[in-house]
Amino acid sequence: MTSQASTQTPLPRVSIQFCTQCKWMLRAAYYAQELLSTFSTGLGEVALQPSTGGTFIVTITHQAPGADIAFTKTLWDRREDGGFPETKELKRRVRDVIEPGRDLGHVDRDHGKKKEEAAKDKPVETEKCEDCQ
């Protein structure tokens, strides 16, 4: 018996690339669980991608209604954004791509420009993984 697997990836697809040397798999799995709990069938897939070198990058591949091609956007990069995202911030960023008008309830409360401006003024601290050096 021969079976064919579909090569088409269900979209939107969130990919969480994490460093195995830094032991970030549980953190990546936690973010995946939180996103799936919040967005349920609104997400086509959440993938965990093992990596090395202190990597922790969350991307989303999405195809807008009526668009011919899908695009991939980086939602969070530990090196660029400084550390790891708060769960509510990651949920906001996913929501802004797949359902911009959706209210996330308590996640959206107390989130305004003041917090964003304060974050811009705050110096970025990045963790260095000693195992990956």
Q: Can you list the domains of the chain with their CATH numbers?
A: 13-63+70-127 (3.40.30.10)
Q: What is the largest CA-CA distance in the chain?
A: 61
**Confidence band, pLDDT 50/70/90 cuts, at residue 25:** very high
Per-residue confidence (pLDDT) for residue 132, from 0 to 100: 73
C-alpha 50/C-alpha 96 separation (Å) is 26
Pairing of strands 45-51, 13-19: parallel
pLDDT, tens digit, 9 for 90 and up, residues 48-70: 999 999 999 999 999 988 889 99
By three-state DSSP, how is residue 96 classified? helix
pLDDT, tens digit, 9 for 90 and up, residues 84-104: 999 999 999 999 999 998 888
User: pTM of the predicted model, to two decimals?
Assistant: 0.79
Tokens 């939602």 appear where? 75
**Confidence band, pLDDT 50/70/90 cuts, at residue 124:** low
